[in-house]
Amino acid sequence: MKRGAGTRYWDAEITLSAAAAALRDPAPLTGPYDGDPLDLTIFVSCYNEADYIIGTIETVLDAAKSAGVSHEILVIDDGSRDESPRLVADYIRAHPDENIVLRVNRANKGLAQNYMDGAFLGRGKYYRLICGDNAEPKESILAVFNAIGQADIIVPYYTSSEGKGVRRILISNTYTAIVNLMTGNRLHYYNGLAVHLRYNVMRWHPNTRGFGFQADILCLLIDLGFSYLEVPVIMIEQRRGRSNALTFRNLLSVGHTLFEIGNRRLSNRLYRRR
């Protein structure tokens, strides 16, 4: 027992000595994400997406390979009640050479929490959410992937939203106008599934846990001075009819997001060093 404890102590001394030597002869400073082995972690969200999830995975794989980015796909199934997990598991078994991981939640956590979890589970320098409903054509995903590295944040916005109702478009435009008014930004869209440095998502994660989390983290990082590039894309809504985006829970989340953005903006003005 004493020998084992001594070994651990000795290992710790070696580490401390190496750190002290590094301080005496410092290397050039690098970012905390420079050692990540992959270019991109792609989090594919899945909740009752049996009709679309395999198509989503294949579209994402095709776009990532065309863009030439080293990548991994992390599918997080959020307690689906359909065959989504089995379909993904079968696809992974049938394609062992693809870098795809499936995680199945025992209970539903919600998109925002899964987004945070995916950032910690991933290995890529950059991080992007893609919804499992196959709403983004390959050309749109490829346009976003091709822009990676041109700025800290790649912000897609929709020039065409086929299948998206007039009511939803009006609400989205109003939401964007309100956020721009509150922040002084001039973005076209805040819920377009931006590409972030994965470390930034882990370090400065949003406080909201619903539909508005994307705007929250985007505004936070822009306030901190991270650069961004907007990329125009198209979207094709696969589901027709009533949208889950207009539920009471999501509307409450949007209200919470606006409160967080406004509170942070006010705090920055009050406590900024002069």
* CATH number of the domain encompassing residue 195: 3.90.550.10
Which residue, among 124, 76, 129, has the nearest Cα to 104 in the 3D structure?
Answer: 76
pLDDT score for 237 = 73
- Look at the alpha carbons of 214, 42, 75, 58 in this order and tell me if their dihedral is positive or negative: positive
- CA pair distance 127, 125, nearest whole angstrom: 7
Q: Is the whole model's pTM more than 0.75, yes or no?
A: yes
- CA pair distance 162, 40, nearest whole angstrom: 28
Q: Walk along the chain (274 residues) and give the pLDDT tens digit of each residue.
A: 333 333 222 223 323 333 333 333 333 333 455 667 899 999 999 999 999 999 999 999 999 999 999 999 999 999 999 999 999 999 999 999 999 999 999 999 999 999 999 999 999 999 999 999 999 999 999 999 999 999 999 999 988 766 666 777 788 889 899 999 999 899 999 988 999 999 999 998 777 777 788 999 999 999 999 999 999 998 877 665 455 555 666 667 777 778 787 777 777 666 665 5
| 198 within domain boundaries | yes
| 24 within domain boundaries | no
Q: List C-alpha distances in Å: 176 to 2, 34, 63, 171.
A: 63, 33, 28, 9
| 101 within domain boundaries | yes
Q: Which domain holds residue 47?
A: 38-271
Q: Does residue 42 contact residue 59 with C-beta atoms inside 8 Å?
A: no
Please state the domain count of the chain. Answer: 1
Q: Does residue 211 contact residue 258 with C-beta atoms inside 8 Å?
A: no
pLDDT score for 3 = 35
Q: Does residue 174 contact residue 215 with C-beta atoms inside 8 Å?
A: no
| 3 within domain boundaries | no
| 167 within domain boundaries | yes
| 21 within domain boundaries | no
| Residue that is written with structure tokens 């749109």 in the block | 140
| 1 within domain boundaries | no
